[in-house]
Amino acid sequence: MSSPLVQTVVVLGGGSAGLMAALTLKRRIPHLQIRVVRSPDIGIIGVGEGTTAAFPKHFFEYLRLKPQQFYTEAEPTWKLGIKFLWGPKREFYYTFAYEYQHRFPELSRNSGFFYTPETQYAGPISALMAHDKVFPRRADGLPHFHNSHAFHIENHKLVKWLEKVCREFGVEIQDATVRPELGPEGITRLIPENGPPIVGDLYVDASGFRSELLGRALDEPFMSYTDALFCDRAIIGGWSRTDEPIHPYTIAETMDAGWCWQIEHESWINRGYVYCSNFISDDAAREELVRKNPKISNEPRLVKFRSGRYQRFWVKNVVGIGNSAGFVEPLEATALQVICVEASTLADSLVDSLCAPNPSLIKLYNDYNVQAWDDIRDFLAVHYKFNTRLDTPFWRACRSDTQLHNAEFLVEFYRENGPSVVAGAQLLHQSNSFGMDGYLAMLIGQCVPHAKPYSPAPQEQKIWHERLNTWAVEARRAMDVKQALEAIRRPGMKWG
């Protein structure tokens, strides 16, 4: 039996997931007819402000969009990683670069073995972060962009930019609150309160936590992550920037019953406390957030969530993308990255199947995306299991009860062998988005003990310290976020 041909796609939801899915499909398969349906009454979640390095790759390499329009409309600032106030060290840096596994020819092992609790950074990108700098300065005064950057973007500006680009490429956007009708092959049509039914060959469910099609209509089972990730709420506030420097990183700070992000926008600083309601009340969480951030000027807003994913994402003629497919807290700001992966694998599946996807392709799509979600759960679990910074009931429970799932053996290997490069190739599959370097940043950063500490001979010590000094000198000469923003706004800026 031949697979049905996909010619029209209906995307339910106009948040970042729906618009990113619509844009990705339209850009990759221009002949597809794509309509986004979004409810003006329900609105969008309106949070989601940090990205990973997958975001620029998706938009500027995979979709080949022009960065200039993005910078003008979405007004991002740059993020090189996360500064963790976590574990016994005062701070450590997680980057999107390859630093701990890097092996210099003149040293006997990779950098992870040379990093000590006193070391502030492990490579040029973490050195930039430690000096509050973002890009090296070119001779012409412009920033020398490197590939290890992501963005901080205010959610409403991102959505506005996405909407504009979607329309430019021919995506239709319709305002309507709809309910689905179900048949044996999946969704038959979406019924708006007013107006004719909306029909497609494929329905992308990007309806956020409501999961109208995948969760509610098709009743796909939800797989909870609560044995690894205990938090279920966030309270969010912020204040207008005055003279604070614009940090080129997100801060993740340990709190009594969870952790707090600090996200840097050009004129707004966004703080959010992610916590577990079994360990702290909403009022107490609000009080802790405001006490530790007395500059908060707005009324903090509460968001409830559950961590987990649906068993499958592509079921019959429905593909769930974004919060309607799954959710984990933004400790590594992975939601937009997951949307990029989901949208690009869907587009590639349709391209390769000549828009007639068959069951084996759909199974592969599901397996691939299940792995991407579970990888995030496992990586975040390592953040909770080993954070010894506070001795509160919440953190004691995290250290004793967090399940590491597929990261269990990797951690055991680390405990026995330290930051060995042998691990990278063997312990993680190729598409793991954090890679061994991400795991090493968290294990070394949190000072998880291992059985093979290395004491370099004086000659090697000297070479390593020369490296650290070189990175520090280069970082001091580099540009901060404010200078880089000014430079790209100067007339004559040439975008590569």
Ligand X SMILES: Cc1cc2nc3c(=O)[nH]c(=O)nc-3n(C[C@H](O)[C@H](O)[C@H](O)COP(=O)(O)OP(=O)(O)OC[C@H]3O[C@@H](n4cnc5c(N)ncnc54)[C@H](O)[C@@H]3O)c2cc1C
| Inter-residue contact 212 to 270 (CB < 8 Å) | no
Report in angstroms how near the CB of residue 417 gets to ligand X at its nearest.
33
What is the distance, to the nearest Å, from the Cα of residue 394 to the centroid of all Cα atoms in its chain?
A: 24
Establish if 39 lies at the interface with ligand X (CB under 6 A): yes
Residue 50 makes contact with ligand X by CB under 6 A: yes
The stretch among 2-10, 33-41, 105-113, 459-467 that binds ligand X (CB under 6 A) is 33-41
- Between 131 and 149, name the residue whose CB sits nearer to ligand X: 149
Q: Which of 77, 110, 126, 207 binds ligand X (CB under 6 A)?
A: 207
Out of 178, 269, 475, 481, the residue judged to bind ligand X by CB under 6 A? 178
- In 10 A of CB 454, how many CB atoms? 13
| Residue 91: strand, helix, or coil | coil
- Our finding on whether 24 is near ligand X (CB under 6 A) is no
Residue type, 458: P
SS3 category, 205: strand
Residue 42 CB, shortest distance to ligand X, in Å, is: 4
Amino acid at 280: I
Contacting ligand X within 216-275 (CB under 6 A): 234, 272
8 A C-beta contact, residue 178 and residue 188: no
Of 9, 10, 11, 14, which lies in the binding site for ligand X, with binding defined by CB under 6 A? 14
Q: Any idea which residue has 């701070």 for tokens?
A: 91
Among 29, 173, 303, 364, binds ligand X (CB under 6 A): 303
Element (H, E) at 314: strand 314-315
Burial class (CB in 10 A: 0-12, 13-18, 19+), 490: exposed
**Whose CB is nearest to ligand X?**
15
Under the binding rule (CB under 6 A), the answer on residue 419 touching ligand X is no
CB 228 within 8 A of CB 405: yes
Does the protein bind ligand X through residue 212 (CB under 6 A)?
Answer: yes
Instruction: Based on the shown chain and the rule CB under 6 A, indicate whether residue 210 belongs to the binding site for ligand X.
Output: yes
Q: Which is nearer to ligand X, 42 or 361 (CB)?
A: 42
The least distance separating ligand X from the CB of residue 471, rounded to whole angstroms, comes to: 28
Q: Tell me if 345 sits within 8 A of 431, measured CB to CB.
A: no
Where does residue 459 fall: left (phi above 0), alpha (psi -120 to 50 degrees), or beta otherwise? Answer: alpha
CB of 234 to ligand X, least distance (A): 4
DSSP class of 270: E
Q: How far is the CB of 182 from ligand X (least distance, A)?
A: 14
DSSP state for residue 212 in the 8-state scheme: I
Of the candidates 342, 338, 351, 411, the one whose C-alpha atom is nearest the C-alpha of residue 381 is 411
Closest alpha carbon to 307 in 245, 425, 226, 376: 226
Q: For the window 325-344, what string marks contact with ligand X as x by the rule CB under 6 A? A: -----x--x-xx--------
Cβ closest to ligand X, residue 328 vs residue 479? 328
Closest separation in Å from C-beta 229 to ligand X: 13
Q: Which residues contact 244 (CB under 8 A, 6 or more apart)?
A: 269
Q: Minimum Å distance from CB 332 to ligand X?
A: 9
Residues interacting with ligand X, by CB under 6 A?
12-18, 37-39, 42-45, 47-51, 177-178, 206-208, 210, 212, 234, 272, 303, 305, 322-324, 330, 333, 335-336
